Amino acid sequence: MQAVVTLFGPGDLRGALNNEHVRAFLDPLIRAKGAEAALAEASPVTYLHKGAPPFLLIHGDKDEALPFAASTYLRNALRDAGDDCDLIRIPGGAHGTELWHTLPDVPDWEHDMTVWLDAKLRYEGPEPGPGIRARTAKQ
């Protein structure tokens, strides 16, 4: 793996047993191993180590499904392990990207993500990578 980009992804599921979606998704593992062991096994922070690929986390700071703090926690844990991790905060962004373009002062996260990937993957073509469209205002 050369790089990781995650949009509003969980870094640590420990303590999330009260989340019905987590319980439903991990039910077979929870029944087999118990809740604590299952949640730890399913948590990315369990596997952090120096030498992981660079991470880019993109997360809205008004996410009602997964708090923005989940990404700041994962960023700090990756950096504490000695790994490269950047975070793009979407001010006012809820869970999901469908309304992000309507927010005032939202960063051009699609462009920023592409530029980040180009840099991490050492892409040497035209900037930014092919296929990225310029952001246009929605009417």
Q: Which of 97, 44, 106 is nearest to 75 (CA)?
A: 44
Angle at 113 between CA 41 and CA 16, to 5 degrees: 25
| CA gap 99, 90 in Å, rounded | 11
Q: pLDDT per residue over 3-55, tens digit each?
A: 999 999 988 998 887 788 888 999 999 999 999 999 999 999 999 999 999 99
Output the pLDDT for position 61: 97
Please say if the pLDDT value at position 131 is more than 90. Answer: no
User: What is the CATH superfamily name and number for domain 4-11+47-120?
Assistant: Alpha/Beta hydrolase fold, catalytic domain (3.40.50.1820)
Is the CB of residue 117 less than 8 Å from the CB of residue 123?
A: yes
Output the pLDDT for position 21: 85
Q: What is the average per-residue pLDDT within 114-131?
A: 80
Q: Which of 88, 96, 136 is nearest to 112 (CA)?
A: 88
Please say if the pLDDT value at position 136 is more than 80. Answer: no
Alpha-carbon Rg of the chain, whole angstroms? 17
Q: What is the residue whose two structure tokens read 């809820």?
A: 94
Please say if the pLDDT value at position 130 is more than 60. Answer: no
- Provide the β-strand partners of residue 6: 57
Residue 84: phi and psi, rounded to 5, are -85, 125
* pLDDT more than 90, % of the chain: 71
User: Which tokens is 17 given?
Assistant: 């047993």
Is the CB of residue 39 less than 8 Å from the CB of residue 13?
A: yes
Q: Name which of 45-54, 114-123, 126-135 the model is least confident about.
A: 126-135
SS3 58: strand
